[in-house]
Structures are given as structure tokens and as C-alpha cells.
Amino acid sequence: MNREETIRKIKEEPEWDLLVIGGGSSGLGIAVDAASRGLKTLLVEQADFSKGTSSRSTKLIHGGVRYLAQGDIKLVLEALKERGLFLKNAPHLSRKQPFIIPIYSNWDRIKYLVGLKLYDLMAGKERIGRSQWLSIESTVAELPQVSTKGLKGGVLYYDGQFDDSRMAIALAQTCEDHGGSVLNYCRVIRLLKDDKGIVNGAILEDKETGETYSVKASIVINATGVFVDEIHEMDTGQEMHTIKPSQGVHLVLPSKFLGTLKNALMIPETDDGRVLFLVPWHQHLVVGTTDTPIDTHTLEPRAQENEIDFILRNAQKYLKSDPHRRDVLSIFAGLRPLAIPGGGEGGATKKISRRHYIEVSKDRLLTITGGKWTTYRQMAEDTVDKAIRVGNLKAEPCRTHQLKIHGWAEEASLMENGLNVYGTDRKQIDDLVIENPVYAERLEEDWPQTRGEVVWAVRKEMARKVEDVLCRRFRILFLDRQAAIKMAPKVAEIMKEELQRDEEWMERELQEFYELAEGY
């Protein structure tokens, strides 16, 4: 991944098969699928890869126990199949995660045990474990900090866990491995059309230099999440309302509140009828999420105080030690781009389907909306299939069912040290340290990230800003806001040298990062 090389290609390539707008899970999945089929593919992202919703998930690869309760069998079947493929294709970024539902009534024991046995059966050959009943003693042993008042036992089941923005980077690398090109900090400012009014490209603006480029493509794909209507409006010239954003907030707590780094806790029914997860992640505890309808959208949504209170209040009911606002290490919010079928206004966002929808405008702009990380691969396959038909493109059959994601390493595990997220690239980072022993120095004594990893992020992962490193190449700001603030000056200094920037750039970057961190 080299930004200068990609810009050179954009200037020299007269036409692409696919121009994908949006560098989140949908867009990156599409770019991987298309490139691996031999299509000439370019993806552009207005900010950094997974800057928006795709870095702000609950970090789960799951069929969706809640969707099963709602009766959305088709979505659950699809997601369980995709969960299995995800774990096989990206084992360095994902793993099987045990979950326990604490049970406080006999009816709940029957209801959840039967439901989760059905969940197991629906996974078929992609099943990753067997759900089972746990005694009171076993439940407390597996969840040391669970509230024991009225506890009757627990139901154990299995889903998957992953690192979302690291997966996004790996997908960008996979796209390039198969001949595609990706570029961050490059926005679409206008769609191009031929003399018949058919969309056939776009004018791009490099946000670093202000330079613009004209790109032609057989098919343009709008995969911009909550921003899809902005691209729609470039096509139609009219205001559009095809999605209903829903805000999901997560709090990060010290792992002591759950007392384990092995098992996650699932709260089956909160005040508003949703589920709540308490999931060990990178030695911390991620707690979420909410489902709050939002009228406006932004790249940096902010948690509302009532959402924070809601999460803490519901978590306190299930834990021995009550977490309070002062215990929260970081807060992050994301916006789900929920598709409204038919483009009309929807009701409660928790009732809008998490399925994906593909639409083709009369001017042949292809748009993908909805969906979730777990089903990113199926979404991409469906979208590229549609693009091939609409654009009459010649391409190989879909390969992503068994396509190994960049860095694939079977023995890697999220539970081990942080370098495992690099998979097979880990050796090259070790080689950097041999080349320059200073690169082995940690950014902060209590954290494993090193100078060499910052250098790697800039040279090989297209990191351009301090936030790219501390938010998405590393996950520090999402885990511990204060730790990220401490690391920022050292990261900025290393990046200044690697990117050949001046002191003014470094000061501006630090100021921007501190302002960003205030929101966490």
C-alpha cells in the first residue's frame, strides 16, 4: 500500500472496470472481491480506511441472537455461514469467543437454552461450538464478577470476535495483493456521465494536496455507509433519504469488572428490549451497545449522556462491582447505516432489518446499503455479481469463500501479543527492528506498541495522520483515551520524519488529535 504509487496509477490509467467509493467494510469487501476476479478496481475513501462505522463495532462476528428472537431466520442463517468463513479466512484477526448468559429465572433457562441450541443447529457445518447449561458454581467460576443474587446458573454459547479496523487494513492489503488499488484521503467531488447520462466515472480530490483527478470506470459503486445519500444527490441532483442512521455507543472499562479475559457476558434484555454485550478485547472490556435514532450524520459521532447512563445502569444489574462514569477509559460511538426498504421513513431503528440492499439508479450508479461486518463478504459477492451484469463485464467467478485475507496465519490469536494482528507481516516488522534497534522501543511502558510499528503503519499501511495510527492501526484511543494522549507526541515525531513533514505539521496534527480525543 503506497499512496504515491496509487496516485501515479490514477493519473496513468485511462479507465477502470470498477470505481468503489467508500473505504469501510462494504467498500473494501467489494474491492477485494472484484480485484480477485480480475477486474481492474480502484477504491477511494474520503478519510482513512474504516474511519466511520466500520471501526466502531462491538467487535463481534455473529449470527445475531437478537435477530433469531425477531424471527429473521434468513439473516441469521446467512450470518452464521459467513461467521464460519470469516474465522477460516482471517484467523490472525478473529477467534472463537465463549459467551455466557447469566440466568435468574427458570423460564429464562428454558427459553435461552432452547433458543441457543437452535442457533447451533442453524450454523450447520460452520458451527463453532455447542451451547450448554452451566451450574451456579460453573457460572461464577467462568464469570467471577457476575452478580450472584438470585443466580440459577448460565447458558454458554459461542460466537466470533475480531478487530474491525485491523480487518479493514488487511482487506485493503488483500485488494492490492490481487492487483487492485486503494487510496485514502481522496474524496469524490462530482460524478461523471456520458452523453446518454450514464454514470461513467468521477472527479476525485486529493485531500492532502487539493489536486483533482478525472477517473473513468465502467461501473461506479456507492458504498459510503451513512453518506450514501450525498453520492445519490450527485447522481440525481435531488435530496434523498434512503437510510435511517442509528447510533451505537460503547464504553471501555478495565477487565477487572468482569474478572476474566476469556469469557464474554451477554445481557439478553435491557431496559429497551435490546441485548447488551460485555466483551473482553485487547486486555480491556468493551460494553455496548445502544440503538439511538439520529437525524444527522458525521464522521465523528458523539455519545449522549443518556446513552452512557443506559449502558452503565444495565451493566450494573449483572455485576458484583458497579462500574461508574469515573471508571470509563474510553467512549466511542458509531452510526449504523440502516437501509429503509423503498427509501421511505422507518420507525424504531432496532426494528429495521440489518439485511443489505443493492440498488441501481436509472443512470447506472450502483449503491449498497445496510448489512453488517459479519456478512461483508456476502454483501461484496452480491454487489460485484450485480456490477458484472449491469456493466456487462468479463470476470472470473467469485473466489472469496476461500480467499485468505492478507497476513493469513493459522496459529495467530488475538489473545496473544498485539503483533499477531499483522499475521505473516509480523516477520517484516521484526526485520525493521534488526535494521534499527531503536524501533524496538515501546511508545509507552505499559503498552506493547513500538516505534517500529508506527514506521510500518506509515510505510506499508498508508497511515497519514496521528489519529490513523492511534485509532485504527493501533486501537489505543478506543481502549484508553489518556494512554493515547500520552503516546501522541512520540507518534507525531516518528510520522514527521517518515512523511518528511515540518514542525508546523506536527503541531497541527497534535492539536487535531487532542481535540479528537476530547470526544472519547
Contact partners, residue 350, CB within 8 Å, separation at least 6: 246, 272, 273, 274, 291
Whether the Cβ atoms of residue 467 and residue 454 lie closer than 8 Å to each other? no
Q: Both 208 and 112 in a single domain?
A: no
Q: Both 430 and 510 in a single domain?
A: yes
* CATH number for the domain that contains residue 500: 1.10.8.870
pLDDT of residue 347: 44
Contact partners, residue 331, CB within 8 Å, separation at least 6: 249, 250, 251, 252, 303, 308, 520
**Which domain covers residue 454, as residue numbers?**
418-518
- CA–CA separation, 474 and 457 (whole Å): 9
pLDDT of residue 346: 41
Position of cell 526485520? 431
Span 465-509, pLDDT tens digits = 999 999 999 999 999 999 999 999 999 999 999 999 999 999 999
Whether the Cβ atoms of residue 34 and residue 17 lie closer than 8 Å to each other? yes
pLDDT of residue 353: 56
pLDDT of residue 501: 97
Q: Which of 338, 357, 379 is the last residue of a domain?
A: 338
Give domain status of residue 467, yes or no. Answer: yes
Tell me the torsion sign for CA atoms 318, 324, 329, 330. Answer: positive
Q: Collapsing DSSP states into helix, strand and coil, what is residue 116?
A: helix
Burial track 220-256 (b if 16+ CB lie within 10 A, e otherwise)? bbbbbbbbbbebbebbeeeebebbbbbbbbbbbbebe
Q: Both 263 and 121 in a single domain?
A: yes
Q: Both 185 and 232 in a single domain?
A: yes
Closest CA to 218 of 1, 26, 395, 36: 395
* Number of structural domains the chain divides into: 3
Give domain status of residue 369, yes or no. Answer: yes
Q: Both 441 and 333 in a single domain?
A: no
What is the mean pLDDT for each group of 10 consecutive residues in the chain (520 residues)?
Answer: 96 95 98 98 98 96 83 89 96 95 96 94 94 98 97 97 97 98 98 97 97 98 96 93 91 97 94 90 95 90 96 96 97 90 48 77 95 95 98 97 93 58 92 95 95 98 98 98 98 98 98 97
E-only strand ranges, 340-430: 356-360, 365-370
pLDDT of residue 66: 77
